[in-house]
């Protein structure tokens, strides 16, 4: 009778991976030419990249998620939206309530939902990694002051109601340093295809940093 192989619990494996990831940040940091750049992202990707290089969060888009259409709007009027205070709403009054109900997300929304404004435009922010509205507002306002408009890396993923129109609008934005992670068969400047989705809605674009090499794109050549 063969002995069954012992498997390490996923929780332990992930803990060891994260320990390696952050303990080796100093080695990746040494290869950076600049350290004052800002990463804007429609999900948590930018925060993990910053941690991977042992850098402070020079961006307000850390620990949150923004619907694709809103994210394009945010980028089109970046300076205007960053001047806005954050106003919080009950998820029952979310501008994306119908989408959340259609995708069966509504009942899982327990995080603060914020809105920022510029002229007649509204962008909604899901502060998914924050416990309270106070924490979300304080960190958003503190980090938005660090945005370096002269050194921006703009990233979007095929998630949160992403469409071909969103991709086209993204590619037309007047930012020279843009990347897009997709799972569909689309192509274009700065578009990188990943292997799979994480669950049914979120594309798997978490960075796998190996001393400056991300799984899909060389981050060092982008920063």
Residue 5 is predicted with a pLDDT of 56
Place of tokens 């709007």: 73
Angle in degrees, CA 87, 60, 217, rounded to 5: 140
Q: Give the pLDDT confidence of 175-209 residue by residue, as tens digits.
A: 999 999 888 888 888 888 776 555 445 555 555 55
The model's pTM: 0.85
The residue ranking higher by pLDDT, 147 or 211, is 147
Q: What is the mean pLDDT of the chain?
A: 85
Residue 9 is predicted with a pLDDT of 78
- DSSP three-state, residue 105: coil
Q: Give the pLDDT confidence of 16-64 residue by residue, as tens digits.
A: 877 887 788 888 888 888 889 999 999 988 888 888 888 999 999 999 9
pLDDT at 214 over 70: no
**Percent of the chain at pLDDT exceeding 90:** 48
Whether residue 73 contacts residue 88, with contact meaning beta carbons closer than 8 Å, is answered with no
Q: How far apart, in whole angstroms, are the C-alpha atoms of residue 59 and residue 143?
A: 5
Q: How far apart, in whole angstroms, are the C-alpha atoms of residue 131 and residue 47?
A: 17
Taken as a whole, the chain contains a residue count of 223
Residue 2 is predicted with a pLDDT of 54
Domain ranges of the chain: 33-221
Q: Give the pLDDT confidence of 133-172 residue by residue, as tens digits.
A: 999 999 999 999 999 999 999 999 988 899 999 999 999 9
First to last CA, the chain: 55
């Amino acid at each position: 009778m063969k002995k069954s192989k012992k498997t390490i619990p996923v929780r332990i494996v992930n803990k060891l991976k994260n320990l390696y990831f952050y303990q080796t940040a100093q080695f990746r940091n040494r290869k950076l030419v600049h350290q004052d750049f800002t990463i804007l992202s429609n999900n948590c990707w930018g925060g993990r990249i910053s941690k991977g290089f042992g850098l402070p969060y020079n961006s307000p888009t850390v620990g949150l998620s923004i619907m694709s259409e809103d994210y394009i709007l945010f980028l089109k009027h970046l300076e205007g939206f960053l001047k806005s205070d954050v106003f919080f709403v009950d998820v029952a009054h979310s501008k994306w309530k119908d989408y959340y109900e259609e995708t069966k997300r509504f009942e899982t929304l327990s995080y603060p939902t914020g809105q920022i404004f510029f002229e007649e435009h509204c962008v909604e922010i899901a502060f998914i990694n924050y416990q309270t509205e106070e924490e979300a507002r304080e960190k958003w306002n503190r980090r938005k002051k660090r945005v370096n408009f002269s050194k921006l890396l703009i990233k979007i993923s095929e998630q949160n109601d992403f469409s071909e129109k969103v991709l086209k609008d993204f590619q037309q934005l007047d930012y020279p340093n843009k990347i897009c992670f997709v799972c569909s068969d689309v192509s274009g400047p700065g578009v990188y295809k990943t292997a799979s989705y994480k669950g049914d809605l979120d594309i798997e674009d978490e960075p796998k940093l190996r001393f400056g090499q991300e799984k899909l794109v060389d981050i060092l050549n982008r920063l």
